[in-house]
Structure 1
């Protein structure tokens, strides 16, 4: 049970917030760079290539062997949406990014773009911030502000898909270590 016992409209406990998720700077979120749709990279080409290099090195250090199947079924002539359950923090995201043939436009928890080190990389990858119901219920911002920011972010992601990029979303609303899918969240 979360310490504050906050529940969503289904009566289920909402995920506990990290320290960084509790500190919402709405103006900074609105100033998050939007993806660019006129090149092969939605974010900074240099930093994205450097980041992908780092992700490949990280993956090779974590996994001795790795087998990925089904990539031939992923269309390369149009955009795609990848929705997955969210286990193991950033490890599942690395596997999806590195096995997909297209570059990604990404929607992620709002504090990913405002943290110091992770935020630098999130902004270079043009990650679009999303305000979850967990933050909204705890008073991080007004419902109108959440709808505005999430609408802008989802429009950016949809535009990226229409321009041939891949998009990654993890609709459970939290990272977990359960052996099963938890109920998907719809947001504010």
Structure 2
């Protein structure tokens, strides 16, 4: 981790510990010291969610973020300094051909996946957007597709791990409330899910694997975030 990144991470941690009364972190032993990986979590609290993970993960984390956020004052500069990859989503509004946006999206995700393939950590929020539900909402397939793309780009070494992260807030919008960041053991993949895509594999077979991995990520996230039907029962 370079000095600029260390200073930014330190500042983010300082600000978080001023906003929250207490931030507890558990499960750091589940994050391997070497090799690539993907952190997956739910997204109930906007920019606070990635900030908590950035500040408390023992590994440097490279994020992908909606390209429009880079236009925000200060935030855009911070994200660039952290090496954040701007993601142009196909569904985003904007000028130009939708097909061109799709290609730009794929190129950005490839750049991020290559970093994971080369041994870095990234963090994804598979729901896509932040929300106010007390449980994960419908997951998109992006995290699973990203995982398999990272495996395709590997040139030896251990396969990337997928580590679920539970983010817990007792009163997420309240000043001086409490937060918990819980890193859980890597998701154990079945033989079918642990296969890397090949050029000869039928597309429908790969899509089946992507859907099944998305379902497995959804199942695990619902466990680790203690999904409920009401925020009133989310207590730390």
TM-score, scaled to structure 1: 0.68
Higher RCO (CA 8 Å, separation ≥ 6 residues): 1
1:8 corresponds in structure 2 to: none
Q: Which residue of the other structure, out of 133, 141, 150, is the alignment partner of 1:178?
A: 133
Shift of 1:99: 2.1
2:103 corresponds in structure 1 to: 148
Contact 2:45 2:131 in 1 (8 A): yes
**What is the alpha-carbon distance in structure 2 between the residues aligned to residue 133 and residue 172 of structure 1?**
16
Does residue 88 of structure 1 match 2:41? no
Q: Which residue of the other structure, out of 80, 84, 90, is the alignment partner of 1:123?
A: 80
Does residue 69 of structure 1 match 2:26? yes
1:58-101 residue CA offsets vs partner (Å, 9 max, x unmatched)? 11102222221111011111111012111111111122112211
Shift of 1:120: 0.8
Q: Which residue of the other structure, out of 98, 104, 107, is the alignment partner of 2:61?
A: 104
1:87-138 residue CA offsets vs partner (Å, 9 max, x unmatched)? 1111111221122111111111111222222111111112111123541xx4
Contact 1:113 1:127 in 2 (8 A): no
Q: After TM superposition, what 4+ stretches of structure 1 lie above 6 angstroms from structure 2?
A: none
The alpha-carbon distance between structure 1 residues 186 and 143, as it changes in their structure 2 partners (threshold 3 A), is farther
Contact 2:90 2:102 in 1 (8 A): no
1:59 corresponds in structure 2 to: 16
**What is the alpha-carbon distance in structure 2 between the residues aligned to residue 134 and residue 111 of structure 1?**
13
Q: Secondary structure of the residue that 1:178 maps to in structure 2? A: coil
Q: Hey, which of these two has a bigger chunk of strand by percent?
A: 2
1:21 corresponds in structure 2 to: none
**What is the alpha-carbon distance in structure 2 between the residues aligned to residue 164 and residue 55 of structure 1?**
24
Q: Secondary structure of the residue that 2:38 maps to in structure 1? A: strand
Q: Where does structure 1 lack aligned partners over 5 or more consecutive residues? A: 1-39
Aligned residue-pair number? 142
2:124 corresponds in structure 1 to: 169
**What is the alpha-carbon distance in structure 1 between the residues aligned to residue 88 and residue 71 of structure 2?**
13
**What is the alpha-carbon distance in structure 1 between the residues aligned to residue 108 and residue 89 of structure 2?**
12
TM-score, scaled to structure 2: 0.55
**Where do residues 124-139 of structure 1 align in structure 2 (5 Å cutoff)?**
124-135=81-92, 138-139=93-94
**What is the alpha-carbon distance in structure 2 between the residues aligned to residue 73 and residue 55 of structure 1?**
23
Q: Where does structure 2 lack aligned partners over 5 or more consecutive residues? A: 143-236
